[in-house]
Structure 1
Amino acid sequence: MKNVELASIFGFCKGVEASVNLAVELIKNHKGEKLYTAGELIHNKWIVNNLAEQGIIPISGPEGHEKGIVLICAHGITPTLKQQYIDAGFKVVDGTCRIILRNQKLIGETNNQTIFIGKKNHPETISTMAFAKRPSILISQVSDLDLLERNIRYDAIVQTTYSSSIISDLKEAIKERGLDVNFLSDICNSSQRRRDAVKKLCETCESIVIIGDKHSANSQGLKKIAEEEGKPAFLVSDVDDITPEILRYKHIGLSAGASVPMDVITRVRRYLINGEAACSTDSNS
């Protein structure tokens, strides 16, 4: 039997949990009404599909859809898209992560030129940059700093789940180049604690398995941490993604992205231990 060691912190963060709970409440209290999410609620296909089966479906905009209640996804949406829903007669419920809401407020209040440090085309990047008073500059890697000028004061907002190593490299390069950048935010504490927990696993485990959606920035970030620590690292969304290569290791460290529910984590852990999918959501099994 394999030794599968769980990280000290993993799975749903408070922002994701709050958004999912809002969706569940809408399904419970508004039976018979048209229910939607503005885009995918979170980066987890299992949750998105499960909610769709219960009657709350993701849409990209109000066009072509019957009026109803639309829940803003955890990553937020642009002010323009929100207004489009309102103008089309939809009732809007805000499920944006509270930390992202704070960042939207910060980027919208400053009069300085803003930069957003994050992944291109990520929903959080798109939504937060849209709140800036004037077009914000996207910085995803050190080479993007070529877009900045020395004689300008910049205020920076950081994607809550962005790579901590890239941010560290950027801060060092900003200092070396003599750029005037004031960081108004950083990655969220929840993301940092999960990454620290994966680092801790790397001290004792042969390999690391991260459960999460391939489009999830925080899940990708956890995998990258393990790789930077020199460990074989694998990203799986569920038991179907577990390969013979993963199973050849005897001592496996296991963590999960912020959008992964406990029953999926339990199922993957059980499979890694003895090749059987779990039928229980008991986290102690």
Structure 2
Amino acid sequence: MEQAFDPSTFDAATIAVLVAGMAITGMIGGVLAGLLGVGGGIVIVPVLFWVLRAFQIAPEHASHLAVATSLATIIPTSISSMRSHARRGTVDRDLLRLWGPAVFCGALIGGGLAKFVSGDSLRAIFGVVGLLVAVNMALPKTLVISQHLPANTWVNRLIAGVIGLISSLMGIGGGTLSVPTLSAFAFPTHRAVGTASALGLMIAVPGVAGFIYAGLGVEGLPPSSIGYVNLAAVLIIAPVSYLFAPLGARLAHALDAKSLKRVFALFLMITAIRMLMG
């Protein structure tokens, strides 16, 4: 049986290496977010999980810490992205009013469930949904099941609530699930991406609150953790990711988009399988 992590074992050298690991996590997340238009969480969660495991943090804690900390890094990124998209008029306020409350409630439930969901279950959710997202990205054409959103308000709220719930448990923003879902209903891509930036904030805030509550009183967490949110990691990953996202965006214009999607789909598929393996 693996021993619980003892925070007192963190000496200066260990902390320095951990900081470097967090910075690299932010760099990878930021570049891929800008490069492929996906939320950094889909990259940050698995990388942060492996960094934490490398420092002998129990997998049960590492899973929750990775998801919760990823959600916290999404908050400033979502605010910045939402303001940028709003200036371009690509945030659909009608859709936001329709989906926003349900997304918020779903994310709040997801964060609250973290107290009762095991680390293995969190990795399984990430792995399964990650595989589905990878397959969707690898498809040559976007799957369209209807030319418009469901007419029934409650069906829309159910869809939005499920997106909020799963996104919160995965530690990702709204774009990874909401953009392909909206695209399946022939929703304009730019408006889907713009609105997803606002939905990301509605996922991250209640999700973080739930994970903080779920982690209160838990022993064996790294220094500077409030519940399952590690503030030190947030303060390192968030600004680094923010700074490196423009580099990814510049690379996106210089490289073939279809090839990039396929490469990332392969990367995500391998990552999802690795998370399922534990």
Give the TM-score normalised by the residue count of structure 1.
Answer: 0.24
Structure (1/2) with the larger strand percentage: 1
User: Rg larger in 1 or in 2?
Assistant: 1
The answer to which structure, 1 or 2, has the higher relative contact order (CA under 8 A, 6+ apart) is 2
